[in-house]
Amino acid sequence: MADSASGPTANSDGADTVRDQFRAALERKKAATKARESHANAGSKVAHPHRPAVGKRQFRRKSG
């Protein structure tokens, strides 16, 4: 009985250790993401990335 009582305790400690490791890894991942997103509020180097919607594009049928 003493072994069965210490068994789940050891497993839960191991599970807590794994959870703590995953939580620490997730925090590192979030910190890295925030570091990359810090430049997101800067302006774009490209003035007009898309074609202006002035007129409708004309398609010509191929002859032959």
* 6-64 per-position pLDDT tens digit: 445 556 678 889 999 999 999 999 988 877 766 666 666 666 667 666 667 777 788 76
Tracing tokens 């919607």 back to the chain, one arrives at: 53
**Beta carbons within 8 Å of 55's beta carbon, 6+ residues apart:** none
**Residue-level pLDDT at 44:** 65
**Residue-level pLDDT at 11:** 61
**Residue-level pLDDT at 22:** 96
State how far the alpha carbon of 52 is from the alpha carbons of 36, 44, 46, 49, in Å.
Answer: 31, 17, 14, 9
- Answer with the residue of higher pLDDT: 12 or 3: 12
* Distance of alpha carbon 5 from alpha carbon 63, whole angstroms: 86
Considering the entire predicted model, what is its pTM? 0.40
State how far the alpha carbon of 16 is from the alpha carbons of 25, 35, 43, in Å.
Answer: 14, 28, 44
